[in-house]
Every structure is written in C-alpha cells, then in structure tokens.
Structure 1
Amino acid sequence: MTADRVSVTAYIALGANLGDAQATVRGAMDDIAQLAGTTVCRRSSLYRTAPVDSSGPDYINAVIEVSTRLSAPVLLEKLQKLEHLAGRERPYLNAPRTLDLDILLYGEACVQSPHLSIPHPRMRQRAFVLAPLAEINPNLVQPAALQALSDQKVERIAGTAL
C-alpha cells in the first residue's frame, strides 16, 4: 500500500455458521475496520439464512461498505488472514465455516484472476448477499433481482442494525 493511493469504495460479504456466528461476524466487522487504510462506512443488519450449496447450521450473514486504500489483491490477502485467525478451514468445497469474507465489489473494477473475481461471480445468485447489500446501498440491487431469489429465505435478525 502506498500513502498516496486513492481510496476505493468496496463491499464485503461476511458469513459464518459455526461457533458463535453472530459474535464472529460482528468481530470481523471490527477487525476489518482496523485494517490499515480502511474505514468501515456502513454495516448491514445481521441476517439468518439456510446454507446454500453448503451444509451445517444456518448462516449469519451481513455486508459492509468500506473505503480502502488497499489494492484488491492486498485486501483479499488481509481478509483471508482474518478468516484464518477465526479458525477457518477449507476441508472441502462449501464446507461449514467459522468465518467467510468475500469482496463483492471494488469500486468499478473488474478483476479476473485465479485467486480473485470482482464483481463476485455468484453475488447476484444469493439472497443472503443481495438483501444486506440492498439495506446499505439500495442503488446496487434492483428489486427484481431480489424478487427472482424469493425462494431463498433470508431473515433479518431483529435488533441487529449496526
């Protein structure tokens, strides 16, 4: 990171379904706010959802908006370190998780690499991403997109507006 790097608005999805998932997601929001050159601007409420293409208990999901001077690859590296510190293991594809952090959007960037795809390739297929994203920035989610996913139950957890 360079001191003169311009800040970019990015959106990060957070999820967990092992351990105290609500506390883990809240703690991860705070940890992201501590990353160098990064400020959390908006936090969605917490949402409870059934696993999609996964197993285990229900997930707790949220989305945050950040302003960051970190490049997208460095931001991903920092997020993966936070996942690791939270005990994230990857024994098989879509395994239950102590913490999952995904960059959804990074400014207007389109990134396709072996390790990073922005915009996130499945974000428009997941109500657990679009509902909290729409809460913090309704301009990013068309109502028809959420309606198309109405078969995916997403429950906003009362009293979790952050």
Structure 2
Amino acid sequence: MNKVYLLIGGNMGNRQENLQKAIALIRQRIGEVQQASSIYETAAWGKTDQPSFLNQALLLYTAMEPLPLLKEILAVELQMGRERIEKNGPRTIDIDIIFYNDAIIDEPGLIVPHPAMAQRRFVLTPMAELSPQLLHPVLKRTMQQLLEECTDPLPVHTFN
C-alpha cells in the first residue's frame, strides 16, 4: 500500500460539508483515510478577491499508482462540481497530492511533492499538525521546520 498525503480545500457553497463529502468520496474511490488534520480557515492565496478557504490535510493508504490516483482525484473534483475556470479562482473542492510515499515525481500534470507547499502556510499548518516530523524528500526539512521557516503572511486559523 502507498502512503499518501492529500490537502483538500474549497471556498464555495457549504465549505465544511464539501470537505466531508470529499473525504467520503476519497474513501469510496481511492483508499481509507487514516488520519485527518483539524480544519483550517485562511484567506484566498494568489487571487484575493474571493471568499476564505477551508483546508484539511489527510493521510491515506491506497493501492493506486500516482497517475491513476491523480485521475481519480480529478474525477472526485468533477463529481463535486469543480469547474476549472480561472487559476487560483474559487472552487467547491480542490484536492492536491502533497506526498506519495517518499517519491519524487515529475510527470506532465503531476509534480510530487507539491512544488509550492513550502511557501504556503495553509498547506504546512495542517501537515505539521498531522505529521510534524515527516521529512520533505527534496528539501530535507520536516513539516514543523518548514512551517517555522515559512514567510507566507496569510494567517491560518482553526475553524470551529
């Protein structure tokens, strides 16, 4: 089985319900979710004239290889009404592969570890909660170290 970390998030509709629905679909279609971080709220990153996002990190195990996993993730997003209209635009759900085992993958359409994660507090905060000692295979820093070194000014708050 492959150990996978995902980040799920969204800022349209009932955001918390959308996260719950995404987790249910991931369980059905991809693999059993072993752990989930708290839910965090943050202002939109990149394109700021939109509602705040809710984000959550997940640890799951799957038999899927990376590219079939990505295909299934995109199918879950589509099933939940995701429309890719503008880069960094609003969305019902966004599911990113953060880590796949300790693999370094650079394929068309799939780069793992997620290339921008070390610059994004909204990724690092839930990842550091879930697995603070997890080592980034490229940067050779733990999630906790990356979070402490992160210069992203956007605040991240636990969502009640």
TM-score, scaled relative to structure 2:
0.89
Question: Helix, strand or coil for the counterpart of 2:85?
Answer: coil
Q: 1:142 to 1:86 in 2, by over 3 A?
A: closer
Q: How many residue pairs were aligned?
A: 151
* Structure 1 residue 150, shift from structure 2 partner: 5.9
Question: What aligned pairs does 1:103-142 form with structure 2 within 5 A after superposition?
Answer: 103-140=97-134, 141-142=142-143
What RMSD over aligned residues (CA atoms) do the two structures have, in Å?
1.3
1:43 to 31, 36, 45: 36
Aligned to 1:149: 151
Task: Report what 2:45 is aligned to.
Answer: 52
Pair 1:117–1:103, CA change in 2 (3 A): same
- In the other structure, the counterpart of 1:79 is 73
**Residue deviations 1:85-138, cap 9 Å, x none?**
111111121111110000000001111111100001011111111111111111
| TM-score, normalised with respect to structure 1 | 0.88
Retained in 1: the 8 A contact 2:133–2:144? Answer: no
- C-alpha separation between the residues in 1 aligned to 2:119 and 2:25? 27
Q: Which runs of 5+ in 1 are unaligned?
A: 1-6
Residue 35 of structure 1, CA deviation: 1.9
Does structure 1 retain, via aligned residues, the 8 Å contact 2:119–2:152? no
